[in-house]
Structure 1
Amino acid sequence: MRFNPKADISGGRVSDAGRGGGGGRGGPMRIPLPGGARAGGGIGGVIIVILFVVLTQCMGGGLPGGGGGGTTQGQAQGDPQGIDNGDERYASCKTGADANDNPDCARKAVALSLENYWGATLPDQGGTEFQPASIETFDGSIATGCGNATSQVGPFYCPADQKIYLDTTFFADVLEGQLGGQGGDFVEPYVLGHEYGHHIQNLLGTMGKVRTQQGPSSDAVRLELQADCYAGMWTKDASDGDGILEGLDQGDIEEALDAAKTVGDDRIQQAGGQRVNPEGWTHGSSAQRMKWFTTGYEKGTLEACDTFSASSL
């Protein structure tokens, strides 16, 4: 994965909260661990690696299509945090050349690429006004609009403040170290693409469709597979060269597919020493996750990614 060295990435909406930083409302939130996972961290926490708020925040108000919560939503849309806010971690990230040399700057470039892609695609294909999400990195724990979270939750999107939260140690410590993923420089962009897909679902009101939260054909699984499909849509655009990325090779696509396979519910259950139990799934199997990422990559449309209408996942 290479970035256009002349690209201006200074507008990437990424900020850093440091250790135990961040803002937000609400007290500590107990993260439910589906599938009978062990509490107390480790692999159990990764079962909800992508979107813990589906089982906590999303079923209430405060989401488009879900009713209520207009004040929080409006405040989030007007939040300038994440744009060149001067924090030291990202202050030097100005060009694609910086992104080629520094993984933090690469994150900022990916954020801008996602924003540019969805800024054009969402109004065109979804008829919906686009509002950008921001990415906040942290170390250890953070307070968010959805409550407090720790690194064990894994990367997640909070619809209440429209932010993606990421402890960057997750990829080496958990995805590779505990779950055995092969790693690679496109793994994090895939995960960010998936999380940005949740933001698009938030803007479209899709999160309001989530009623059933566990099971191989549950609404929660459909939501997650759709986010994988949206990540595939963006990846295809990036692979064609989007002005920020100079194009992705087959190795990058294989890294994304391996990451999708690694965080499949069946793979995580096996890694945790459990039997494969589809009734406990919240994100979909490895095969399903790879299938829907590929669908988005090959088809490139919101319509093709309509997992809620699909008779077979």
Structure 2
Amino acid sequence: MTFSEGGRFEGGRVKRHGRGGAVAAGGGGLVGIIALAIFLFTGQDVSGVLGAEGGGASAPVDEVGECTAEQANTDPLCRYSATLEALEVYWGATVPAGTAFAPAQGHEFSGGIATGCGQASSSTGPFYCPADQGIYLDVTFFDLLQQQLGAQGGPLAEMYIYAHEYGHHIQNLTGVFDSADRGGSGAESDSVRVELQADCYAGMWVGDAATREDPETGVTYLQPPTREELAQALDAAATVGDDHIQQQSGGVNPDTWTHGSSEQRQKWFTIGYEQGSLAACDTFAASEL
């Protein structure tokens, strides 16, 4: 999936934090994949316990500036910024009536960073912090998905991750984070329902972006996705399924799931993509996930 020719993105939505950390991007080998797996299961960053040292918390900060569609199609940082702009426009018009919309702030870092939710490491993978409404990631996380978890990769796979995290932002704004029991686990738990709803919200945005025009340029944000590109997004969803990650470390235990299985994550992304409504994405009303 590519940004449409003629598109321009104003920037300012991603803060890039200086790269002073002691850990190479991705957390490094087995330490990185263990830290990532534990974070995806529990939401807790254990990279320090596993030997990954944070860094970059006091490093210089700059912003990803204006870029073109061509740059967004080739440069990961520009793609991150452009995707957040497209998500901001979409969700600003889509949040339920009565919800005060405020855009999420993107952050890109390597090593470690201080956030409103505490210290974080790039080895934990992308995450959303409700305390400061920030989306945090190291763009080389996508190399980890491919090299250690077997993902296909591709631009739409990256956009799916950004859109999923923005889905958490929408849940924060609409009160889902406050009402759900996000501390539990299990295949039918609120934790899983929160994550699957964010997958569904990501599908909603992907299904809309090829028809929604940038109000500044009049150009649609994205070209219609090809079958191959949709397959890449679905593959990314499957790759971060609890069962797939658990298989990498020896055994599958649904009682410990916090994000949902590969099949569930693909299912709810597809529901959002095909049905495109908040009602269809109400995982809390679903009798079966």
Find the counterpart in structure 1 of residue 235 from structure 2: 258
What is the distance in 2 between the residues matched to 1:98 and 1:184?
15
What is the distance in 2 between the residues matched to 1:159 and 1:191?
17
Match of 1:110 among 83, 105, 111: 83
What is the distance in 2 between the residues matched to 1:227 and 1:293?
8
Find the counterpart in structure 2 of residue 216 from structure 1: 187
Find the counterpart in structure 2 of residue 67 from structure 1: none
Find the counterpart in structure 1 of residue 123 from structure 2: 152
Question: Contact (CA 8 Å) 1:187, 1:256: kept in 2 or not?
Answer: yes
Q: Does residue 286 of structure 2 align to residue 295 of structure 1?
A: no
| Correspondence list, 1:130-149, <5 A | 130-149=101-120
Cα deviation for residue 293 of structure 1 reads: 0.4
Find the counterpart in structure 2 of residue 78 from structure 1: none
What is the distance in 2 between the residues matched to 1:95 and 1:114?
17
3-state SS of 1:87 partner? strand
What is the distance in 2 between the residues matched to 1:51 and 1:114?
27
Residues 247 and 18 of structure 1, relative CA distance in 2, 3 Å threshold? farther
Deviations 1:172-214 (A, max 9, x none): 0x21111111111211100000000000000000011222511
What is the distance in 2 between the residues matched to 1:100 and 1:45?
27
For structure 1, list consecutive stretches of 5 or more residues without a partner in the other structure.
22-38, 54-84
Deviations 1:94-113 (A, max 9, x none): 32232234222122111111
Deviations 1:107-132 (A, max 9, x none): 2111111001001111xx44312110
3-state SS of 1:104 partner? helix
Residues 99 and 268 of structure 1, relative CA distance in 2, 3 Å threshold? same
What is the distance in 2 between the residues matched to 1:126 and 1:231?
20
Deviations 1:72-107 (A, max 9, x none): xxxxxxxxxxxxx9927x23x332232234222122
The 10-residue stretch of structure 1 (175-184 or 41-50) with the greater mean CA deviation from structure 2: 41-50
Deviations 1:232-253 (A, max 9, x none): 0001002335422233222221
| Runs (4+) off by over 4 Å | none
Match of 2:151 among 164, 181, 186: 181
Find the counterpart in structure 2 of residue 308 from structure 1: 284
3-state SS of 1:276 partner? coil
The 10-residue stretch of structure 1 (236-245 or 247-256) with the greater mean CA deviation from structure 2: 236-245
Question: Contact (CA 8 Å) 1:19, 1:138: kept in 2 or not?
Answer: yes
1:250 aligned partner, one-letter code: R
Find the counterpart in structure 2 of residue 191 from structure 1: 161
How many pairs does the alignment contain? 260
Cα deviation for residue 167 of structure 1 reads: 0.8
Find the counterpart in structure 2 of residue 79 from structure 1: none
3-state SS of 2:284 partner? coil
1:3 aligned partner, one-letter code: F
Find the counterpart in structure 1 of residue 93 from structure 2: 120
Find the counterpart in structure 2 of residue 236 from structure 1: 207
3-state SS of 1:42 partner? helix
Normalising to structure 1: TM-score of the pair? 0.77
Deviations 1:207-232 (A, max 9, x none): 11222511111110000000000000
What is the distance in 1 between the residues matched to 2:73 and 2:170?
27
Cα deviation for residue 47 of structure 1 reads: 4.4
Calculate percent identity across the aligned residue pairs.
54
Question: Contact (CA 8 Å) 2:106, 2:136: kept in 1 or not?
Answer: yes
What is the distance in 2 between the residues matched to 1:192 and 1:49?
15
Find the counterpart in structure 2 of residue 161 from structure 1: 132
Deviations 1:30-59 (A, max 9, x none): xxxxxxxxx954234234349827xxxxxx
Question: Contact (CA 8 Å) 1:13, 1:135: kept in 2 or not?
Answer: yes
3-state SS of 1:294 partner? helix
| Correspondence list, 1:272-291, <5 A | 272-273=249-250, 275-291=251-267
Q: CA RMSD in A?
A: 2.3
The 10-residue stretch of structure 1 (110-119 or 95-104) with the greater mean CA deviation from structure 2: 95-104
What is the distance in 2 between the residues matched to 1:129 and 1:303?
19
Cα deviation for residue 136 of structure 1 reads: 0.3
- Which structure has more relative contact order (CA 8 Å, sep 6+)? It is 1
Find the counterpart in structure 1 of residue 43 from structure 2: 52
1:288 aligned partner, one-letter code: Q
